[in-house]
Structure 1
Amino acid sequence: MVYSPLVAASKYFKYYIHASNSKGHGMHSPFVFEFITQVMNDFTRYPDYERTEALRKALLKDPGVITVEDMGAGSSKTRSRIRKVASIAKNAAKPAKYGQLMYRMVRHYGAKRILEMGSSLGLTTSYLAAADPGARVITMEGAPSVAALAREHFSGLGLKNIEMVEGNFDDTLPAVLESMPEIDFAFIDGNHRQEPTERYFSQLLPHIHNDTLLVFDDIHWSGEMEAAWKNIVAHEAVTCDIDLFYIGIVSFRKEFREKQGFSVRF
């Protein structure tokens, strides 16, 4: 069950007052300090931002309507399968600041093998692919009508390093992982329920390495997602986690002698 706006606001307030400041002051983890100062607080206006945001602006005005087969927890805004493209762009697509953060993460950490579970209209995918045209990006989308639009957007932006995999993740993920023995960066944004989220994490584990980063979307979206996040960060393979409230990042770096968990304002 998705948290009500009142509960969500209460959750955010609790996160905000306990989270570390966004400047990195007093941060004792070199990895997290570097992430805050060199990635999170990189305020460069990369030209790729403007191209993707021009697409977002156009989509927010798109009067088109499509039929969406939702295979996850559904939308928190509507239960209808008939969706306006503008509404999807407004409510389902990740806001610019998070797409741009992941763009910077790919650039800074040199991710070459990238997986996205949940393409939506392709805005975040575009950020991931534009960050390094030499990287291989596999994006997965369950709804055929949404996948078709995303493909059009990738073509319009001239992005040639994206492979779209269409279909239910339960059916398509095994073959995707077989084609990608190691993953440098993954964004899991396709099914906002506990059991599938934890199952996808387990399926990804054999494909991680010391520098892999996994990003989970909407970790405080519902009780189920909070439970999934809690279990994921508790896994023995995870050595560091960063809670940015709307997304959560996990690292597997062996140089951490003890588990480290951080909440950081973003």
Structure 2
Amino acid sequence: MKSARTTLVILLSLAGGSAAARAGERTPPPCHWNVTVIPAAAAKSSNSLMAALKLTGILLQDGWDVAESGGFPQAGPSGAQDEESAALAMAGVDVIVSFAVKTTVAPDDGGLSVALQIKAYNPRTGETLADVTGTSPRRARGPGAENRAVDDAAARAGTRLRDALRAACQVTRKQGALYRLIFRNPPAGADIKIDRLLRKICRKTSMRKSTRSQVVFNCRSREESIELRVILDKELQAAFPGRKYEWRAVLRNMLAATFLPRGR
């Protein structure tokens, strides 16, 4: 008997083959985001598999680049799902579409409906790109009724997801991409100095974290990550003369630098 992970890979492959052939019917989204679809929690139910297939097909048909996530992440007390998100971000995934399927059975006549809650977010910045729900019409229970309800809910939620991602893409193109900037081992007062310099080079900026070990900012900019790094180099060298640092990560939507101990 195939595992849920193996089944998901097969289903997504089938979805990619059928939907990719129709992708040319629509103008592809202008944002070249790499998207992956995973359940919000560990799940091996057929409902989650069907929902993943439906959502993937809708996104592929709309022209999005949908990557196979490697199976369902195992959420739990260990925080493994957060680790999965971090791994996907480092692997080049730009958008994680996380979903949950809930079946409701009416106590009076036993009729059922299915709701699909979706949250799409950038795993590097944490920015929410879509938060939508799709609910199927209530129907009488019977053979195949729940499967049809899952398909209905996923179709409705998937259409709203598609539209929300396109809207988020337009915001990015007009206002710039949101970057997560991480500075580890910062000198004393670095949070204030970095905040000042980011206000000069970012369209919008906000401090997300400030501790002795690191300071973290969000920065919205129209520059590509490499270009933003060059601009940051100039500003950091002026703000911290003689202090050396190394860029440890320069990714789409995320840059991370570490200040070196004095004397190195």
TM-score by length of structure 1 reads 0.29
Report which of the two has the higher share of strand: 2
Higher RCO (CA < 8 A, seq sep 6+): 1
Report which of the two has the higher share of helix: 1
Give the number of the structure whose alpha-carbon radius of gyration is greater. Answer: 2
TM-score by length of structure 2 reads 0.29
